[in-house]
A = this chain, B = another copy of it.
Amino acid sequence: MLELIAFDADDTLWHTESLYSDAQSRFVKLLAEYHPREWIEQRLYATEMANLRYYGYGIKSFILSMIESSIELTEGRITGREIQQVIDLAKEMLSADVRPLEQVESTVSRLAERYPLMIITKGDLIDQESKVARSGLGGHFKHVEIVSDKTPQSYAALLARYNVRPENFLMVGNSLRSDILPVAAIGGRAVYVPYAVTWAHEAVDAETAGAASFVQLEHIGQLVAVVEKMTDDSH
């Protein structure tokens, strides 16, 4: 029996990674006279990781790390005008079109007829709420939960709050680290739908992933059949 099906949002329901990688390419171009691409990307990533504990996830955090990184990489020589370009990137990202992945709309609308659906996403509160609205998918979801991190503890607390047992809960997402392994760890069901690109921070080695039990799909369009099979098997 399934009581609740939850979806990650970024790169599960709609494209996001390309937004970050496009912004990063423009950042690299801005600093091209100072450093090669690899070094810029490496320093930016290191700054992002060091800042996670202050800023958490999301576009504002990414942009603040970009600004800091640009100052470091130019030894303070970056100009105000150039930093304004980075800020403009933030505003573009925050108001960009939200493009659902292929077959997401048909899949969630079919599942919403039979199950309460939830979005569980990390990141920035206002940005994620705005994306749910802009995606046009909001109406299919009964609940939207924006969390600061996705751990076994945070999933367990959330399910307790909704009074759903882990075995009756299915999580669908593109990150082994955030969507799949922590849910499997508390006895929930998980369907992994990899996206074309995985942010380095979300990557998990094969050995860690191998120990957990989950279903992997090539495409979210296969989800309805998998859910049907799951619920057939369990009664």
Residues of A at the B interface (CB closer than 8 Å) are 54-57, 60-61, 63-64, 67-68, 70-71, 74-81, 83-84, 87, 90-91, 94-95, 124-127, 129, 146-148
Pairwise interchain contact A126-B71, C-beta atoms closer than 8 A? no
- Would you give the shortest CB distance from A94 to chain B, in whole angstroms? 5
- Would you give the shortest CB distance from A221 to chain B, in whole angstroms? 31
Across the interface, A90 reaches (CB within 8 A) one of B64, B79, B80, namely: B64
Pairwise interchain contact B70-A76, C-beta atoms closer than 8 A? no
Across the interface, A87 reaches (CB within 8 A) one of B57, B68, B81, namely: B68
Pairwise interchain contact B54-A91, C-beta atoms closer than 8 A? yes
With A and B bound together, what is the CA distance between A71 and B126 in angstroms? 25
Pairwise interchain contact A56-B87, C-beta atoms closer than 8 A? no
With A and B bound together, what is the CA distance between A202 and B84 in angstroms? 28
Pairwise interchain contact A60-B55, C-beta atoms closer than 8 A? yes
Nearest neighbor of A81 in chain B, beta-carbon distance: B76
Q: Which residues of B contact A61 (CB under 8 A)?
A: 60
- Would you give the shortest CB distance from A19 to chain B, in whole angstroms? 14
With A and B bound together, what is the CA distance between A217 and B153 in angstroms? 39
With A and B bound together, what is the CA distance between A78 and B76 in angstroms? 11
